[in-house]
Chains A and B, each alone.
Chain A
């Protein structure tokens, strides 16, 4: 029987705005959760229209009152002048001070939804396998608006769903913020970087990785949905976003380039291959263990994937000296890590 002793807090970041109907869906996706011991913290962040803050707050309180018999909702307000990570931090501070029995945390943007078994499935896996971080698949749902202004979904596919690899997470964010649950007892002190306009969610995961405490696992189960307008996945950033991304990447590099992290034994093989066939000789999968072992990405494929990804991000910036410099530094960092592991 499922142990629901651990309180699960879901933090929703919203500015309300023209997204009330989306926020309603996010809330109902939490109400529909089959895990019963849960509460919601809504962090209001009216960065786009400070004048409407009071009106939006009133709307949130009306929702809180309306849903009072179904779930406890707490509302916190974030400083409108601060960036994306700040509302999450306000919510996390609130949880730390006011919900002492919080055991699990997850995040949800106001335009995304969970599937009903999201919480129960991941939390039960964390309990069974002594994990402090667990995630499943996020479905990317692309939509157009119908004549009533509602989302009409054209396609839903699993884009974000990969095995947990802490090393890969260092160079590539493949876990979305609505995809995971983590243990508050382990990571309760972590906070989002408030200087970042982009990639603050990735940086938060890096904090977990470099804490050297993360025990994470991926489960191949569709658990959440990330909704985007049709065609937007292929859109490139505008100039402001490109600059923000560049700044974020520089920040991340500067913060972590001298840090070290622990890596589990098997992950090392994903980076450097298995030239001595250690896995082959010692695992149930035999000589092709590196290929067959479901938790491992062969180093050669990983290397090629990484360069492909770097190429994809940086190709538009061929003439950008700063980003070329960063790319060189990233490669140098990778070689250092590789040399360190081989010792």
Chain B
């Protein structure tokens, strides 16, 4: 596994925590049996001492632990980790949600997949979620139109060139945004179906707030439409969601985010040939 320049030499794994105590046991124990060379960078956005909890489960892997005094959200949180440790990363690095458990062979299988696509200009390789795979389609060569941030292996150089995640997005849709910017820059996105992670999604976790997901997903959706397609797309979508009981909150989040975009940003992104589904982000026929 460690022989070729395309292979995963030492995989750096970024894990962003936020009130993640209930997930840490399974995550640490899952990482303890993960095959391969890796180091984990934990970053706690809730300013809690979750390193105590990590230690409680006797991690057998190398890791770092940092915490932030403010909750900067998913994108900014991962950007912070990358800023601090990214210069030690090799060809790629892995993002892993704390509510995920990697299969023991997921890095080994990822390694094989990287070899498979090594001649391509790949930007992101998504790991397949289990038991409910992410509801989108993929091409016979495993290309996808966007990659889920729950578990994604990112091309380090590409991430650096593109400036990381969009700071304007607090949570949800920053993975779509990164995916689309990767596409615009000519990078391909893949899914490695043999590299699996258990992901306890909102529908399977009573402790997750559906309201939070709904608010930030819709706001993120509006923001992406504004950033990549323009106001007509925003209004087109808003027609379907303005009846949401959280509409005021959604509008506020979207407005604040979109104010962070400069005219230059909009010029760079609009009119690009991004592959998306015409009417939904997901593959209907699979569900």
Once the chains bind, are A66 and B33 in contact (CB under 8 Å)? yes
- Asked whether any CB of chain A lies closer than 8 Å to the CB of B263, the reply is no
Closest partner residue, chain B, to A67 (CB atom): B33
B13-57: which have CB < 8 Å to A?
Answer: 26, 29-30, 32-33
Once the chains bind, are B200 and A146 in contact (CB under 8 Å)? no
Most buried by B among A24, A28, A114: A28
Query: A149 to B193, alpha carbons, bound, how many Å?
Result: 9
Stretch at the interface among A151-159, A269-277, A287-295, A315-323: A151-159
Shortest distance in angstroms between A232's beta carbon and chain B's nearest beta carbon?
A: 18
Query: A277 to B163, alpha carbons, bound, how many Å?
Result: 72
B130, B204, B286: the one within 8 Å of A28 (CB): B130
Most buried by B among A21, A69, A155, A225: A69
Query: A85 to B132, alpha carbons, bound, how many Å?
Result: 30
Residues of A within 8 A of B223 (CB): none
Residues of A within 8 A of B104 (CB): 24, 66
- Asked whether any CB of chain B lies closer than 8 Å to the CB of A52, the reply is no
How many residues in A have their beta carbons less than 8 Å from beta carbons of B? 28
Number of A-B pairs, beta carbon distance below 8 Å: 77
Shortest distance in angstroms between B116's beta carbon and chain A's nearest beta carbon?
A: 9
- Some 5 contacts from A to B, beta carbons below 8 A apart, are A29-B198, A31-B198, A70-B30, A148-B194, A152-B193
Query: A31 to B104, alpha carbons, bound, how many Å?
Result: 12
Query: A155 to B103, alpha carbons, bound, how many Å?
Result: 24
B136-168: which have CB < 8 Å to A?
Answer: 138, 140-142
Mask for A98-130, Cβ within 8 A of B = 1, else 0? 000000000000000111110000000000000
Shortest distance in angstroms between B153's beta carbon and chain A's nearest beta carbon?
A: 16
Residues of B within 8 A of A116 (CB): 131, 198, 200, 204-205
Once the chains bind, are B198 and A153 in contact (CB under 8 Å)? no
Residues of A within 8 A of B113 (CB): 148
- Asked whether any CB of chain B lies closer than 8 Å to the CB of A1, the reply is no
Known interface pairs A147-B140, A147-B142. Does A24 touch B198 (Cβ–Cβ under 8 Å)? no
Mark A residues whose CB is within 8 Å of B: 21, 24-25, 28-29, 31-32, 34, 66-67, 69-70, 113-117, 146-150, 152-156, 225
Query: A114 to B141, alpha carbons, bound, how many Å?
Result: 29
Shortest distance in angstroms between B52's beta carbon and chain A's nearest beta carbon?
A: 18
Most buried by B among A25, A114, A150: A150
Mask for B90-123, Cβ within 8 A of A = 1, else 0? 0000000000010111000000010000000000
Residues of A within 8 A of B132 (CB): 115
Known interface pairs A31-B26, A155-B286. Does A69 touch B32 (Cβ–Cβ under 8 Å)? yes
Query: A260 to B26, alpha carbons, bound, how many Å?
Result: 48
How many residues in B have their beta carbons less than 8 Å from beta carbons of A? 31
- Asked whether any CB of chain A lies closer than 8 Å to the CB of B240, the reply is no
Once the chains bind, are B130 and A25 in contact (CB under 8 Å)? yes
Residues of A within 8 A of B140 (CB): 146-147
A32, A34, A152: the one within 8 Å of B101 (CB): A32
Closest partner residue, chain B, to A32 (CB atom): B198
Query: A283 to B193, alpha carbons, bound, how many Å?
Result: 52
B33, B133, B205: the one within 8 Å of A153 (CB): B133
Other A-B contacts than A69-B32, A70-B26, 10 sampled, CB-CB below 8 A, are: A25-B130, A28-B103, A28-B130, A28-B198, A32-B101, A70-B33, A117-B206, A146-B193, A147-B141, A152-B138
Residues of A within 8 A of B138 (CB): 152
Residues of B within 8 A of A154 (CB): 285-286
Shortest distance in angstroms between B144's beta carbon and chain A's nearest beta carbon?
A: 12
Residues of B within 8 A of A115 (CB): 131-132, 204
Residues of A within 8 A of B192 (CB): 148
Residues of A within 8 A of B194 (CB): 21, 148-150
Residues of B within 8 A of A34 (CB): 200, 204-205
Residues of A within 8 A of B287 (CB): 156
Closest partner residue, chain A, to B200 (CB atom): A116
